[in-house]
Amino acid sequence: MPKRAVVTGGAGFLGSHLCERLLADGYHVVCVDNLVTGVARNIKHLEGRRGFEIIQHNVSEPLYLEGTVDAILHFASPASPVDYAQHPIATLKVGTLGTHNMLGLARAKGAVFLLASTSEVYGDPLVHPQPETYWGNVNPIGPRGVYDEAKRAAEAFTMAYHRTHKLRTRIVRIFNTYGPRMRLNDGRAAPNFIRQALAGEPLTVYGDGSQTRSLCYVDDLVEGILALLQTDYSDPVNLGNPTEVTILELANLIRELCASTSEIAYKPLPEDDPKQRRPDITRARTLLHWTPRTDLGVGLQQTIASFRQG
């Protein structure tokens, strides 16, 4: 029988790509999403496919499923500053109650549990690049704390279930990822710049644009996630692109790829905005034999093309 995987947040940007790939790999896939930040259009092309189920549900409430479950990939959460500013309590709940509920389901079904954590657990890092052994520099009461601390708590929950109940768990710390199906208004740099460049609007750069990000194309990230799922490694693993780019460089590259004449508009840096973000992926290279392959320019061209198509 095909393996059965549950993907929470399956109608989101990353979740929808995971659902698609798992189906292609022969899994039966249960997509769970409450559609608060997920978008039904992201999985529209999968509806009716054999082995694909959709359940509209908030995983901060218990979820009961009939039948076997082999893997639970917990991706449910608002994931951009705009989203968790609008849904701060829901963000905290899905990271804590939602994680607890999904761990309980994994334990009941004897399934492997994979947690989508984030580079935001490192906060505004004082160590660069960031290895998994770094404990982070997080402001727990700042505007980003609802997301950062929810994910840190989710990691603690996951390790507690691993140690106490011998649950098979995986933790992936995801760094900035981009690609088709991102929401143009989700507040993150790449889709913001693409939306503004295509509309001929000024590109909003916060601060002087010298802060850095490391952008990984979604297909590369999915490869890394599925490679981690197949291991028996329970400690966190960074997945992201170690090639660093400044926000201003990113804005100029997107403007060029869009053939846009938009100007750059500088605005004050938001509170607790990380000044540097770059993963140390030594662990992923060693454990998973994984490294991102997609050049930033190529990935952005594909992303821009998808946004032009609507």
> How far is it, in rounded angstroms, from Cα 118 to Cα 196?
26
What's the one-letter identity of residue 35? L
φ/ψ region of 220 (left if φ > 0, alpha if ψ in -120 to 50, else beta) reads: alpha
Structure tokens that stand for 303 in this block = 């992303």
Q: Show the tokens assigned to 265.
A: 């508009």
Crossing angle of helices 296-308 and 247-257, rounded to 10°: 50
Q: How far is CA 278 from CA 81, 91, 244, 267, in A?
A: 18, 24, 6, 23
Quote the tokens at residue 212: 């850095």
Q: What residues are annotated to the active site?
A: 147
CA dihedral sign of residues 40, 42, 45, 49: negative
Alpha carbons within 13 angstroms on the beta-carbon side of residue 245 total 20
Contact 78, 91 (CB under 8 A): yes
Q: Which of 35, 33, 36 is nearest to 18 (CA)?
A: 33
Report the 10 Å Cβ neighbour count for 68.
12
3-state secondary structure of 113: strand
Cα separations (Å) of 8 from 55, 124, 140, 240, 248? 9, 28, 25, 21, 34
271, 138 in Cβ contact below 8 A?
Answer: no
Q: Residue 7: enclosing H or E segment and its boundaries? A: strand 4-8
Contact 159, 234 (CB under 8 A): yes
